[in-house]
Amino acid sequence: MKTYNLAILGGSGAVGYEMLKLLIDRNFPIKNLYLFASKKSAGKKITYKDKIYIIKELHNSSFKDIDIVLGAIDAKIMKSYLPAIMQDGAILIDNSSAFRMEKGIPLVIPEINPQDIYTHKGIISNPNCATIIALTALYPLHQHAHIKRMIVSTYQAVSGAGEKGINELKEQIQGSFAHQVFPYPIAFNLIPQIGDFEQNDYTSEEMKMQNEGRKILHQNDLSISCTCVRVPVYRSHSLSIYVEFEKEIDVSTAKNLLADAKGVILLDDNTQYPMPLYSSEKDDVYVGRIRQDLKNKNHALHLWCCGDQLRKGAALNAVQIAEEIIKNMQ
């Protein structure tokens, strides 16, 4: 079997660590694996399954002989290293927002549009975590009845802001209400703002759902209104979704479609339902609380879903893309 040289950028962070675990657990054919981060993190040791990985400082010269780069660093920093990655001929799978909406760069959820991977010219983008979770849950229904409109409320865990978000919540629970990561204290609180506000009064995080959804589904008229809320949960995002379809669909049909869907766990019997408690550190998106809309009964559903934003919402999606890429590199 052919093996590959891989680099993880942001190897000391929460998403980078999940990428490391998934590559090992899924038996990705690795020849050499390199973990890079900032000068501050260089020398740090990461242990997984009794093997020690040492973080190296990231430089423009870091990409020589690398086949695939998994990016888990800030968008601005990612853009600064792109010329070096391209020059050395590596394929970049990037988890940041740097290239998602650029024309000609595929934005991919492997369960939905794997064919777009093969249009790449050296870069493939991972969608936003909430977009991945929502569309993974909805795509089986979209294939059957074609989504027309969505109203989404997201309840996003603090780890979506990285390790610093987790640490801030821990410190506040212990009594310190100083805050730097979030605009207000997050412990025992909800913050209805993720990202900066735009001219239309939606935040940048809220606009990602519509803009990215249109690109992934190749549906420019898709209408999505989103409200994103930060919640005092360590891990796993939750979403409440109202979705309208062009064709008729009922709850029974929706449940049957989701029960057979790849990457989805149906949990809907009114005694159990999706919660971060269940979906954290899991690969699948959990879907439940499926109801017919009381007014638009034949063409609209309400549902609730949860997914681990560090795994399927970030690291797993990137590793799945890498797995698809090497099918054509054998």
Active site residues: 129, 237
- Tell me the HSE value of 84 on the side-chain side, using a 13 A CA sphere: 15
What distances in angstroms separate CA 300 from CA 11, 128, 249, 268, one per listed residue? 42, 25, 7, 17
> Is residue 138 within 8 Å of 263, Cβ to Cβ?
no
Residue type, 220: N
Question: What are the CB-based long-range contacts (under 8 Å, 24+) for 19-23?
Answer: 19/70, 19/72, 19/315, 19/318, 19/319, 20/46, 20/48, 20/53, 21/48, 21/315, 22/311, 22/315, 22/316, 22/319, 23/319
The first and second tokens of residue 165, run together, are 């978000």
Residue type, 62: S
Nearest residue to 304 (alpha-carbon basis) of 277, 271, 268: 268
Q: Residue 150 in 3-state DSSP?
A: strand
| First-residue to last-residue Cα distance in the chain | 8
What distances in angstroms separate CA 129 from CA 13, 101, 318, one per listed residue? 16, 15, 11
Residue 146: phi, psi to the nearest 5? 65, 110
Cα–Cα dist 11/197, whole Å: 30
Give burial (CB, 10 Å; 0-12/13-18/19+) of 268: buried
Cα–Cα dist 55/36, whole Å: 5
